[in-house]
Amino acid sequence: MRRIRILDMDPMDDPRPVILFDGECNFCNTAVRWTASREKHKRLHFARLRSPAARRIIALADPGIEFETLPDSVVFVDENGIHTDSTANLRIARYLRFPWSLLVLAQIIPRPLRDAAYRFLVRNRYRWFGRSASCSAPPPDLASRFLETEEDPGVDDE
């Protein structure tokens, strides 16, 4: 099982897009598996949002951003920067196979409306889908695409 050491990685050496997700959210964990199974080229990588790896990824992508100001659900980091809320999800859709890639067409909906709908889901995700007391290990077929640091054993640090 290959693990990528984020601490030693230069962002120019590894420009792969990364989905940072709430590892305690059952919906988020399911969404990561769903996304990975529908991805075109297996380029996406994943990290739990409350992990040291996520902090390092954000610091490399934008040293000026306050990590604590980011949403607690999904953050997407690619060569164009850090994306949150509905925009993060629409950028992720670009990596999916047809017909799922057509979800990017939702960009025609004004962002305030998209974000309001997204935030409604986020506010209710634990009530509707449940919450895990601890992060589950990634499935074997995804383990090599999960990023962690030396001090990140694969569980949340909070």
Whether pLDDT at 149 is above 80: no
> In which element (H, E) is residue 147 found?
strand 147-148
Cβ atoms within 10 Å of 22's Cβ, excluding its own? 26
pLDDT, tens digit (0-9, with 9 covering 90-100), for 67-95: 989 988 999 999 999 999 999 999 999 99
For the chain, the domains span 15-148
| pLDDT for 136 | 66
d(CA 131, CA 1): 27
Strand partners, 20: 47, 75
d(CA 33, CA 94): 16
Percent of the chain with pLDDT over 70: 82
